[in-house]
Amino acid sequence: MNREKLMKMAGSVRTGGKGTMRRKKKAVHKSTTSDDKKLQSTLKRIGVNTIPAIEEVNIFKDDLVIQFLNPKVQASIVANTWVVTGPPQTRSMWIFHFFCVFLVIGLCIRVLMIV
């Protein structure tokens, strides 16, 4: 490497002026964990309780269905606040409708076979 390139690289890592120590490594800030902690503390303050045994949550928006399978659901009835946490799946409304009809028909056939 040539001297000019080294001086350019050394100058970019100096935090202060001339004669100050160079920084050891660039600090990486993680804001997602702090945001999550702030959100959880706010939810705790308004009195959110976990609702157990929820297998599925469907949110209907325009022509889409946002579906959460086995989500963590928290609610505060007094504050009219619901929190759904988990990996979402976005589907078209007609595919979701077809799946529900197919599921109901399958359950009806299964009941008829038992009787």
- The pLDDT tens digits of the residues spanning 79-95 come to 898 999 999 999 887 76
- CA atoms within 13 A of residue 37's CA, in its CB half-sphere: 5
Find the angle CA(47)-CA(49)-CA(51) to the nearest 5 degrees. Answer: 160
The per-residue pLDDT for range 7-48, each reduced to its tens digit, is 777 666 656 667 777 667 777 776 667 788 888 899 999 999
Structural domain contains residue 87:
yes
Find the angle CA(32)-CA(33)-CA(35) to the nearest 5 degrees. Answer: 65
Structural domain contains residue 17:
no
Residue 111's identity, in one-letter code, is V
Other C-beta atoms lying within 10 Å of the C-beta of residue 68: 19
Structural domain contains residue 3:
no
Structural domain contains residue 59:
yes
Structural domain contains residue 52:
yes
User: If 0-12 CB within 10 Å is exposed, 13-18 middle and 19+ buried, where does residue 46 land?
Assistant: exposed
Which residues sit opposite 52 in a β-bridge?
none
Number of domains in the chain: 1
Structural domain contains residue 10:
no
Q: For the domain that residue 109 is a member of, what is the CATH number?
A: 2.20.70.30
pLDDT of residue 92: 80
**What is the residue range of 80's domain?**
32-114
Structural domain contains residue 67:
yes
Structural domain contains residue 20:
no
71, 86 in Cβ contact below 8 A? yes
Judged by DSSP in three states, 51 sits in strand
For the whole model, what pTM was predicted?
Answer: 0.54
